[in-house]
Amino acid sequence: MTFQTSLRAALFGLTALTLGSAAQADQLADIQAAGKIVTATDMHYAPFDMLVNGTYEGMTKDLFDEVSKEIGVEPVYQDIPWTAELPGLEVGKFDIVIAPVTITPERLERYTFTPPIADATVSLVRAAANDAIGTPEDIAGKRVGVQQGTAQFRQLQAYGETLGGVDVREYGTTDEAYADLAAGRLDAVAGSLPNLTYLVKNRPETFALFEPASFGEPTYFAWVLRKEEASESFAAAIRDAIQKMTEDGRVQAIQEKWLGSYTELPLDVAAE
């Protein structure tokens, strides 16, 4: 056997081994072998994700704790800025993004979504003492805060164009936007209906919902995985867990605990 023949045989064997390993890649199997799911979320997005005296809690945590039990592993929760979450997911820094991510057609093409975990319809909140505005149309020409990089930001921009323009102010977190609204530096804040309902419920002396609060098309929040063959088993396990939790009442109990009411959600995100 010549040197060239030996080299070709070695390279062929290495290529076959690499392709075989790729073909056998299975994220769920890897997670179960490791005994943990590494997650990313933004812990400044009440009522879904919050740091209370340094402890992580919220609706997302309650839901994902139960999902992790069904899969048989421990969740590892990481506080990551929202703008770094999807890029970090794509390069494999974590297994899943559990920050509530709004399902959009563009994101469905790029990522694998779990079944919805909550309503995400964009809505508006104002200072309780500000009676000069009250309906969505009143934000024309006003200063409206919104978290940067979100679907709510894009929906606010599009809605503002129909009104002749809105002064959109971007924030790294919703907490920062709420603080500026309370201080009078904003006229309104746009966000998902569950977030704003929770805010007003807990701080009625400071904030009030618009009437009607929502505008635009109904949307949903879900969690996000990489869109690859290796993630299919992991996505299926999460879907099965959420379906089981919906049927046995755990999803309803968690929604009612954090949102004050229960909304039946679809399992098929592709249709949304």
Question: Are residues 162 and 142 located together in one domain of the fold?
Answer: yes
What's the pLDDT score for residue 149? 86
Answer yes or no: is 1 within a domain.
no
Question: Are residues 142 and 107 located together in one domain of the fold?
Answer: no
Question: Are residues 63 and 197 located together in one domain of the fold?
Answer: no
The 8-class DSSP code of residue 171 comes to E
Question: Are residues 142 and 204 located together in one domain of the fold?
Answer: yes
| Residue 243 in this model has a pLDDT that exceeds 70 | yes
More confident residue, 8 or 264: 264
Answer yes or no: is 3 within a domain.
no
Whole-number percent of the chain with pLDDT over 90: 79
Instruction: Give every CB contact of residue 249 below 8 A, 6+ residues apart in sequence.
Output: none
Answer yes or no: is 20 within a domain.
no
**Counted domains in the chain:** 2
What's the pLDDT score for residue 19? 39
Question: Are residues 31 and 112 located together in one domain of the fold?
Answer: yes
Question: Are residues 43 and 105 located together in one domain of the fold?
Answer: yes
Question: Are residues 72 and 150 located together in one domain of the fold?
Answer: no
Question: Are residues 114 and 228 located together in one domain of the fold?
Answer: yes
What's the pLDDT score for residue 260? 85
> Could you read off the pLDDT of 112-138 as tens digits, one per residue?
999 999 988 999 999 999 999 999 999
Structural domain boundaries, residue 235: 25-118+220-260+267-271
Answer yes or no: is 36 within a domain.
yes
Question: Are residues 201 and 88 located together in one domain of the fold?
Answer: no
> Could you read off the pLDDT of 194-215 as tens digits, one per residue?
999 999 999 999 999 999 999 9
Distance separating alpha carbons of residues 22 and 224, to the nearest angstrom:
22
Q: What is the CATH number of the domain that holds 126?
A: 3.40.190.10
> Could you read off the pLDDT of 152-175 as tens digits, one per residue?
999 999 999 999 999 999 999 999
CA torsion sign for 233, 239, 244, 250 is positive
Calculate ∠ Cα 114-119-122, nearest 5°. Answer: 120
Answer yes or no: is 43 within a domain.
yes
- Beta-bridge partners for 119: 220
Give the residue from 187, 142, 194, 132 showing the smallest Cα distance to 164.
142
More confident residue, 91 or 271: 91
Question: Are residues 97 and 126 located together in one domain of the fold?
Answer: no
Mean pLDDT on 243-252? 97
Question: Are residues 108 and 136 located together in one domain of the fold?
Answer: no
**Residue 270: pLDDT band with limits 50, 70, 90:** low
Answer yes or no: is 6 within a domain.
no
> Could you read off the pLDDT of 134-148 as tens digits, one per residue?
999 999 999 999 999
What's the pLDDT score for residue 218? 86
